[in-house]
Amino acid sequence: ELKVEQNPLFLSMQEGKNYTIYCNYSTTSDRLYWYRQDPGKSLESLFVLLSNGAVKQEGRLMASLDTKARLSTLHITAAVHDLSATYFCAVAYSRSGGGADGLTFGKGTHLIIQP
């Protein structure tokens, strides 16, 4: 059974600081996703990481994937209040039946950025 662990689950930080969210998963997979969710809203796709060593950046967010270590990181640089949200990582699990894979999500990191 695929397990996805995120840490920390809660993070309160000040504007201007840097921080990293970690996502570990238990089974081989070469597809990892990061999503953002605002309170009462749906999931917004941030990054799709498809291969070992993949690094993607968008604004103050940068995500990376190490498939050998089964680890992905989401790094926040010089945080601003607008980045306050819950961030989820999700791993695609390749079932033997084929087809598009159901995603297994971590529990999410609730991020609060204070002025």
Partner 1 sequence: KAGVTQTPRYLIKTRGQQVTLSCSPISGHRSVSWYQQTPGQGLQFLFEYFSETQRNKGNFPGRFSGRQFSNSRSEMNVSTLELGDSALYLCASSYRANEQFFGPGTRLTVL
Question: Of 3, 31, 21, nearest to 77 (Cα)?
Answer: 21
| Two structure tokens written together for 64 | 């990376």
User: Binding to partner 1 by residue 88, rule CB under 8 A?
Assistant: yes
Beta pairing, strands 19-25 & 43-49: unpaired
**Which of 23, 103 has the CB closer to partner 1?**
103
Q: Which is nearer to partner 1, 25 or 88 (CB)?
A: 88
In sequence order, which residues have a C-beta less than 8 Å from that of residue 24 and are 6 or more positions away? 4, 5, 6, 70, 71
Per-residue x/- mask for partner 1, residues 25 to 64, rule CB under 8 A? ------x-x-x-----xxxxx--x-x--------------
Give the nearer residue to partner 1 in terms of CB position, either 45 or 114. Answer: 45
Task: Assess contact for 114 and 16: CB atoms under 8 A.
Answer: no
Question: Residue 76 CB, nearest distance to partner 1 (Å)?
Answer: 21
Q: Which residues bind partner 1 (CB under 8 A)?
A: 31, 33, 35, 41-45, 48, 50, 88, 90, 92, 95, 97-108
